[in-house]
Amino acid sequence: MIERHLDIPTADGAMNSFVVHPDEGGPHPVVLFYMDAPGKREELHDMARRLASVGYFVVLPNLYYRRTRDWTLTERTDEQLQHMFGLMATLDRATTECDTQALLAFVDAQPQADARRIGAVGYCMSGPFVIWAAAAHPDRLACIAVIHGANMATDRPDSPHRVAARLRCETYVACAEVDKWAPPADIAQLQTGLQATGAPHRVEWYPKLEHGFVFPQRTCYDKAGAERHWERLFALFARRLGLPAAHATGQPQPPALPRRRPRIPYRSDVEAGHSRVVDAIRQRRGGHLFNLDRILLHSPPVAEGWNLFFTRLRGGQLELPALPRELAMCAVAMLNGAEYELHHHAPLFEAAGGTPAQLDALRRLGRDPDAVLASPLWDEAQRALLRVVVQSTRRVTVDDPAFDAARQALGSDRALFELLAVTAAYNMVSRLLVAFGVEPEV
């Protein structure tokens, strides 16, 4: 791996930082690592290295740079703790937004970094920081993780539990059961804020563990809990940043393939203009054009018919429930290698009741469908529906036992027809996405 200690310029001065990434296979997705209160130190450098070892470009800044370049907590004496609390008090939403802007400008300029795919993790005092960062840059951060975050619900107008309601990215929150800095009442308020977003999120409690349990040099370190946190981080970043999920041990994975431009150019907003067709697409998309739309608009008649068809297919009028619908879409995406499709439908799958573990299993569907179908992650109804989707996508024909099992699982011929219609439609989508090399917007 390549490691560097360097200064990143900010509006408030030079922010000394540790940067680590693989030495080949780039550009690599980016992870911004926001430190905990004891300061930027070798313990955190090792954690950054573990992230980099599975294929990420990791940036770990010293957030205390306005006051000191090298302070760390060496002993938990009253004097040192008071000094630490004083440094913490110099950081707030404004400093976080300033520092995050500088970090984004830095990774934008690095050829080894794929700055279109960025996630962030914040430990302890930086739990609020990653929420503020994601709210300030909804178009840049694809996911964030808060690990035993502190002060997640306060009386301030910019309290994380209030700002959380404006997040658009996936959020993971790991909570220690024994934590005076994040009591259950605070986490309940945070969870209410996250639920208001409609974006995918997960709040997970770590029973009997104490604040700081992920840090190997703490007396409260818990190896099992720390490894579970690594497993969750790797899975989160794999879903949102596009790398294969790593094992909790952090063993190096094959480097990600370099991203490339689409095989024909995206139509810009200026080129798209405001025709009836374009305005209808924007209305369905919430005011924006997606990369897929920008490819479709090379043929306005096709784009118009496509938009009308998928408006009906996703307009809430189907008998087919949301979970099997999104299961089919994600399964087709992985069977055909359409990462763009999974990027957009994984959050909807989870919102409909799917689990992160099921999503991770679906990522293996293209390589070993039999093993995925046999997984205990699925109930019998889900397994029956997944088998029909696999057969229809892989070999077109669906055998009678699979057809009958799916019809029984759904309870009606209409729902079964809609499942196979969704499967056929998203096979069409994925084939176009892959043929033209359409990439996720983030």
Residue 20 has pLDDT above 50, yes or no: yes
Where does the pLDDT of residue 239 fall: very low under 50, low under 70, confident under 90, or very high at 90 and above? confident
Mean pLDDT of the 388-407 span? 96
Q: What integer pLDDT is reported at residue 197 of this predicted model?
A: 77
Residue 249 has pLDDT above 60, yes or no: no
Q: Do 210 and 294 lie in a common domain?
A: no
Mean pLDDT of the 94-107 span? 96
Residue 257 has pLDDT above 70, yes or no: no
Q: Do 54 and 156 lie in a common domain?
A: yes
Q: Do 282 and 231 lie in a common domain?
A: no
Where does the pLDDT of residue 272 fall: very low under 50, low under 70, confident under 90, or very high at 90 and above? confident
pLDDT tens digit sequence for 275-323: 889 988 888 877 778 889 999 999 999 999 999 999 888 767 899 999 9
Q: Do 235 and 279 lie in a common domain?
A: no
Domain count, the chain: 2
Least confident of 91-100, 164-173, 314-323: 314-323
pLDDT tens digit sequence for 28-72: 999 999 999 999 999 999 999 999 998 999 999 999 999 999 999
Q: What integer pLDDT is reported at residue 253 of this predicted model?
A: 40
Q: What integer pLDDT is reported at residue 130 of this predicted model?
A: 97
For residue 213, tell me if it sits in a domain: yes
Q: What integer pLDDT is reported at residue 442 of this predicted model?
A: 52
* DSSP string over 370-393: HHHHT-TTS-HHHHHHHHHHHHHH
Residue 248 has pLDDT above 50, yes or no: no
Q: Do 199 and 275 lie in a common domain?
A: no
Q: Do 157 and 237 lie in a common domain?
A: yes
Percent of the chain surpassing pLDDT 70: 95
Query: Dihedral of CA 390/392/396/401: which sign?
Result: positive
**Tokens in use for 380?**
């019998």
For residue 429, tell me if it sits in a domain: yes
Q: In whole angstroms, give the CA distance from residue 419 to residue 249.
A: 38
Mean pLDDT of the 163-172 span? 90
For residue 263, tell me if it sits in a domain: no
Last residue of a domain, one of 196, 225, 241: 241
Give the Å distances, CA to CA, from 14 to 88, 242, 246.
18, 31, 34
Strand order from edge to edge, sheet including 2-10: 2-10, 13-21, 57-61, 28-34, 113-123, 141-147, 170-178, 201-210
> HEC string of 197-249?
HCCCEEEEEEEEEECCCCCCCCCCCCHHHHHHHHHHHHHHHHHHHCCCCCCCC
Q: What integer pLDDT is reported at residue 283 of this predicted model?
A: 83
Determine the straight-line distance between the first and last CA of the chain, rounded to whole angstroms.
Answer: 25
Last residue of a domain, one of 241, 261, 290: 241
Q: Containing domain of residue 352, as a range?
A: 269-436
For residue 256, tell me if it sits in a domain: no
AA identity, residue 369: P
Residue 259 has pLDDT above 70, yes or no: no
Where do runs of H (alpha helix) occur along 23-175?
42-53, 78-88, 93-108, 127-136, 160-163
Last residue of a domain, one of 223, 241, 259: 241
Residue 200: which residues within 8 A CB-CB, separation 6 or more? Answer: 170, 171, 346, 347, 350, 351
**Tokens in use for 405?**
């099992």
pTM above 0.95, yes or no: no
Q: Do 178 and 225 lie in a common domain?
A: yes
pLDDT tens digit sequence for 332-379: 999 999 988 988 888 888 888 999 889 889 989 988 999 999 999 999
Residue found by looking up tokens 């090399």 in the block:
437
Q: To the nearest whole number, what is the mean pLDDT of the chain? A: 90
For residue 34, tell me if it sits in a domain: yes
- How many other β-carbons are positioned within 10 Å of the β-carbon of residue 186? 21
Where does the pLDDT of residue 245 fall: very low under 50, low under 70, confident under 90, or very high at 90 and above? very low
Q: Do 14 and 156 lie in a common domain?
A: yes
Q: Do 151 and 280 lie in a common domain?
A: no
Mean pLDDT of the 70-95 span? 93
Q: What integer pLDDT is reported at residue 243 of this predicted model?
A: 62
Q: What are phi and psi of 253, to 5 degrees?
A: -110, 160
Q: Do 38 and 137 lie in a common domain?
A: yes
Q: Do 279 and 191 lie in a common domain?
A: no
- How many other β-carbons are positioned within 10 Å of the β-carbon of residue 114? 21
> What is the domain-level CATH number for residue 173?
3.40.50.1820
Least confident of 9-23, 280-294, 401-415: 280-294
For residue 250, tell me if it sits in a domain: no
Q: What integer pLDDT is reported at residue 290 of this predicted model?
A: 87
Least confident of 21-35, 86-100, 234-248: 234-248
> What is the domain-level CATH number for residue 338?
1.20.1290.10
How many CA atoms lie less than 13 Å away from 356 in the CB half-sphere? 19
Q: Do 237 and 276 lie in a common domain?
A: no
* DSSP string over 303-361: HHHHHHHHHHHTSS--SS-HHHHHHHHHHHHHHTT-HHHHHHHHHHHHHTT--HHHHHH
Q: What integer pLDDT is reported at residue 347 of this predicted model?
A: 86
For residue 74, tell me if it sits in a domain: yes
**Tokens in use for 291?**
């990369």
Mean pLDDT of the 16-36 span? 94
Where does the pLDDT of residue 261 fall: very low under 50, low under 70, confident under 90, or very high at 90 and above? low
Q: Residue 168's closest CA among 146, 196, 190, 210?
A: 196
Q: What integer pLDDT is reported at residue 262 of this predicted model?
A: 83
For residue 177, tell me if it sits in a domain: yes
